[in-house]
Each structure stands twice: as C-alpha cells, then as structure tokens.
Structure 1
C-alpha cells in the first residue's frame, strides 16, 4: 500500500498575533468539512504562512489558486520554502484571456 508523506512545515518563525487562533479555526473548519472559509489580512500579514500551518495541521493535499501569474509564482516559491520535503507544483494557463466559442 502506498503511503503519502505527511506535510512537514519548515518553520522559519513561529505563529504570532492572531495567527495561532486563525490556524486552529481554519484547520477545524477543514476537518469538519466546511466548504468555504475566508482568511483576511493586509499585505505582509502572514496569510501564506498561516495557510501553510493549516496544510500541515490537516495533512491534506491542497490546491492553491491565484488571480494572476505573478502572485501564483510568488505563492509557489513561498510554499516550496515552507515545504522543502514535499511536492509543491506550479501550473499556469498560457491563455491571456478567455475567448468563448462562437455558436
């Protein structure tokens, strides 16, 4: 039987401020099967690090979506640094805009 490697977070620092509470609440929501949750924070407030902690705590494969290619690349780089012993992959679409089919 194939065993999936557990997510192992390389912590460059420890969660501070509101992060520990956010990690607990978000992880609890994931484990209870909540389909939607929101994490709000200003730029540089540690949202990616908070989510990395949730990924480790819940130990579930995770799909991270970003609204542009620059942010997607930044998130991938950060998550790879947080999870150096786990697979963190990057996929972007090469379509610059959506063009629906003509009927």
Structure 2
C-alpha cells in the first residue's frame, strides 16, 4: 500500500530570505513615503521627478516592489536624500537621510 505525499516541504532558509526581502521592501517603502510626505509631494509629483509612473511609486511605497539600483537612484535623487543600506548575515539596516541644507 503506497501513501501519497504532499508537496515537498519548503526550505526554511528560503522562507527566511523571503521574509527578509519583504521586510526590506516594506522598510524602504515606508522611508520613501515618509520623505515624500515631508517634502509635500504627491505620488504623481515624485513619479515625475524620478521619471517613473505613479503606480510604480505606489508599489514601492507599499512594499510590493523592491526597485533595482537605477530607479532607486532616481527616487533618492528626487527625494533629495542619501540612502544607506547595510546588509549582512544577521540582517539589514536601511536609512534615508535628507541632504543638509
């Protein structure tokens, strides 16, 4: 008598990485949103400054998208800030600091 097996178990390391990626995307989105609000910009304003579309900005702010370096650079430039990302085996840290005036 054979037993049916369910789907293979998920790799815990892969699951942990997916969680970390989601947390990083969420934190980045929050920082971009907060800086945009601080500058008094609408999503459309930021999108125009960053050469993006408002839906792209919304996905990033909502943590649903982690941009590659080129759009990330345009966003940070549009927000007049400095983005610092620190990644290591123990986690990550991300900050968005306004340029000094």
TM over 0.5: no
Larger Rg: 2
Greater share of residues in helix = 2
Structure in which a larger fraction of residues adopt strand: 2
> TM-score scaled to structure 1, two decimals?
0.29
Higher relative contact order (CA 8 A, sep 6+): 1
